[in-house]
Chains A and B, each alone.
Chain A
């Protein structure tokens, strides 16, 4: 079992008002699964993603990631977990604008002290995998949207994380480019990666093997898809 969420709660305080974004979400996830988290805005999907991605800690419940209890970790421990276990792919790509594709992909390895030569080699390999070997010295503004998202995927892959966490990865792309990106995710799953996709589009979610629907901070439905 890769991920075990047990009655996860998250409450925000906005002024004096308490907002309960998650009200006891329980969920288990095995290695090499490909799941989609869906739900309308306000359903708690982003909050759940932040918690799974170790960007945030729950206010109640327990989160075990690879047998590590993440719910009690401090900021720096969470940073190390993010670095080692999670590969993020964002809707807005979130690449460093002034750095080349290669340097962007190297970035996660800078924070775990990988030596420069190895770092470079691994970054080149990852870019190769997403078909960008010939664009690695270009900066993000010299790349198309699809290419940027591939750089981001290469960056998410490069540390060989336990989970690839993709938040609306096709949201800023046209549908043809979006399909290309989704194909990459399918390939990644075939290679043994675990993927969590957050989306609100049905046809994107259908690429996955399992769809978890959230509503009002709770799991509304958890269904497997037979392709």
Chain B
């Protein structure tokens, strides 16, 4: 009860003092405002990124490995080193399918961009993917109409294609595309299936693609120097480590690499994207913490400074309060509460600004940046922590004043 009275009185006194020096109080909070705005908006941004990233990355299963010339996680001049590696070939994909024990499905993937036409209608810049029948498993695509191509279609190099949802929609509308002949980059392909709506993956429209057998791809668009990646789906995510080991061994054998020689291919998997991602957000965190810490430190020193001025200015008031029976801790709390109120003001303004920034980011970019309940908790920690830490020195200075000298102060 008594402590509540002190708190309430402390709040009133602090409110009074802040109102008496409006401009000074606002300027004092500026450091806190900048710090809080920075920290909270970067955290909101990271949360938005996390959400966006986890929904994107889940499109690649944790049970799929990609054998490629380049690594997904390249640092420094890795790119220049990897550039000179031999290209991955379709034959290597066939070998892996033949020899790997862990692989459930293996498909080479080649990719180009072409216009797909049907009669007068055309869809430009369609991503054309050359793959084998296993692609349906490795990329988890299921035709909504018709079927995916079979092993036979692939070995016979048949000119068949499976259209992405958007391509089929633009070319055929409501009519049935199955069995129709479309032109892909000038070559005729028979439509045998249409994939359901998949959405986008890292900005890549998955519905604007068309998949054809890899042999047909090579004869239509050439196979020299084309980038091939081999998608390997493992029986279960638990086997991913063993599979990685096995695939490395197989690839080294196919390429006749003697022990001690560096592998000239990369094994990529979902967790590497997480590594890349974490290194990016790690930097963001560091920036948030760095900028935040510096401005909160500056802000805190500002608060300490203004409180010291305030203690001097209000020496007489302190004397009066002490004469009337205020104990040391009453005066201490009075100034601590004032310090926390200044912080609270800064945190409030900073949080509002950060909410504005998050809203702006969410509205203008695909990142769902959002501020949630943890802001309140974070804000509270800021208020209590900074207010107490930087208030304690001026407050104890005030509390220690001798009542006689304080009363005599002009």
Contact among B16, B324, B404 with A111 in the assembled complex (CB-CB below 8 Å) = B324
Whether A82 contacts B5 by the Cβ 8 Å rule is no
Can you list, as one digit per residue, whether each of A52-72 has a CB less than 8 Å from chain B (1) or not (0)?
010110000000000000000
Residue numbers in A under 8 Å from B327 (CB-CB): 75-76, 79-80, 111
Among B316, B320, B322, max chain A CB count under 10 A is at B320
Contact among A82, A98, A99, A113 with B323 in the assembled complex (CB-CB below 8 Å) = A82
Residue numbers in A under 8 Å from B403 (CB-CB): 55
CA distance A90 to B316 in the complex (A): 13
In the assembled complex, A150 has its CB within 8 A of some CB on chain B? no
Among B6, B20, B326, max chain A CB count under 10 A is at B326
Whether B404 contacts A107 by the Cβ 8 Å rule is no
Among A53, A79, A82, max chain B CB count under 10 A is at A79
Given A55-B403, A96-B320, A98-B20, verify A113-B325 contact (CB < 8 Å).
Answer: no
Residue numbers in A under 8 Å from B328 (CB-CB): 75-76, 79
Residue numbers in B under 8 Å from A112 (CB-CB): 325
Given A56-B404, A94-B407, verify A107-B324 contact (CB < 8 Å).
Answer: yes
Residue numbers in A under 8 Å from B317 (CB-CB): 96
CA distance A84 to B327 in the complex (A): 13
Whether A110 contacts B323 by the Cβ 8 Å rule is no
CA distance A146 to B330 in the complex (A): 30
Residue numbers in A under 8 Å from B5 (CB-CB): 110, 113, 115-116
Whether A79 contacts B325 by the Cβ 8 Å rule is yes
Residues of B252-310 at the interface with A, using a CB-CB cut-off of 8 Å, are none
Whether A113 contacts B324 by the Cβ 8 Å rule is no
CA distance A94 to B319 in the complex (A): 9
Whether B323 contacts A111 by the Cβ 8 Å rule is no
Counting residue pairs across A and B whose Cβ atoms lie within 8 Å, the total is: 62
Residues of A72-88 at the interface with B, using a CB-CB cut-off of 8 Å, are 75-76, 79-80, 82-84, 88
In the assembled complex, A108 has its CB within 8 A of some CB on chain B? yes
In the assembled complex, B81 has its CB within 8 A of some CB on chain A? no
Whether A82 contacts B320 by the Cβ 8 Å rule is no
In the assembled complex, A172 has its CB within 8 A of some CB on chain B? no
CA distance A68 to B6 in the complex (A): 27
CA distance A116 to B403 in the complex (A): 26
CA distance A198 to B6 in the complex (A): 33
In the assembled complex, A148 has its CB within 8 A of some CB on chain B? no
Whether A82 contacts B325 by the Cβ 8 Å rule is yes
CA distance A116 to B9 in the complex (A): 10
| Shortest distance from the beta carbon of A95 to any chain B beta carbon, whole Å | 8
Residue numbers in B under 8 Å from A4 (CB-CB): none
Residues of A176-199 at the interface with B, using a CB-CB cut-off of 8 Å, are none
| Shortest distance from the beta carbon of A71 to any chain B beta carbon, whole Å | 16
- Chain A contact residues (Cβ within 8 angstroms of B): what range? 20 to 34
Residue numbers in B under 8 Å from A88 (CB-CB): 323-324
Whether A79 contacts B322 by the Cβ 8 Å rule is yes
Given A113-B5, A116-B5, verify A94-B323 contact (CB < 8 Å).
Answer: yes
In the assembled complex, A32 has its CB within 8 A of some CB on chain B? no
CA distance A110 to B11 in the complex (A): 13
Whether A113 contacts B16 by the Cβ 8 Å rule is no
In the complex, the chain B residue whose C-beta lies closest to that of A50 is: B404
In the assembled complex, A45 has its CB within 8 A of some CB on chain B? no
| Shortest distance from the beta carbon of A43 to any chain B beta carbon, whole Å | 17
Contact among B6, B16, B324 with A108 in the assembled complex (CB-CB below 8 Å) = B324
Residue numbers in B under 8 Å from A207 (CB-CB): none
Given A98-B16, A113-B2, verify A83-B404 contact (CB < 8 Å).
Answer: no
Whether B325 contacts A80 by the Cβ 8 Å rule is yes
Whether A83 contacts B407 by the Cβ 8 Å rule is no
Residue numbers in A under 8 Å from B23 (CB-CB): none
In the complex, the chain A residue whose C-beta lies closest to that of B326 is: A111
Whether A113 contacts B1 by the Cβ 8 Å rule is yes
Residue numbers in B under 8 Å from A155 (CB-CB): 324
Whether B316 contacts A83 by the Cβ 8 Å rule is no
CA distance A53 to B326 in the complex (A): 14
| Shortest distance from the beta carbon of A30 to any chain B beta carbon, whole Å | 24
Residue numbers in B under 8 Å from A90 (CB-CB): 407
| Shortest distance from the beta carbon of B214 to any chain A beta carbon, whole Å | 84
Residue numbers in A under 8 Å from B324 (CB-CB): 82-83, 88, 107-108, 111, 155
Q: Chain A interface (Cβ within 8 Å of chain B)?
A: 50, 53, 55-56, 75-76, 79-80, 82-84, 88, 90, 94-96, 98-99, 107-108, 110-113, 115-116, 155
Q: Chain B interface (Cβ within 8 Å of chain A)?
A: 1-2, 5-6, 9, 16, 20, 316-317, 319-330, 403-404, 407
What are 21 A-B contacts with C-beta separation under 8 Å? A55-B407, A56-B404, A75-B327, A75-B328, A79-B328, A82-B324, A82-B325, A84-B325, A88-B323, A94-B316, A94-B407, A96-B317, A96-B320, A98-B20, A107-B320, A107-B321, A108-B325, A110-B9, A111-B324, A113-B1, A113-B2
Known: A79-B326, A94-B319. 4 other contacts (CB 8 A): A79-B327, A98-B16, A110-B6, A110-B9
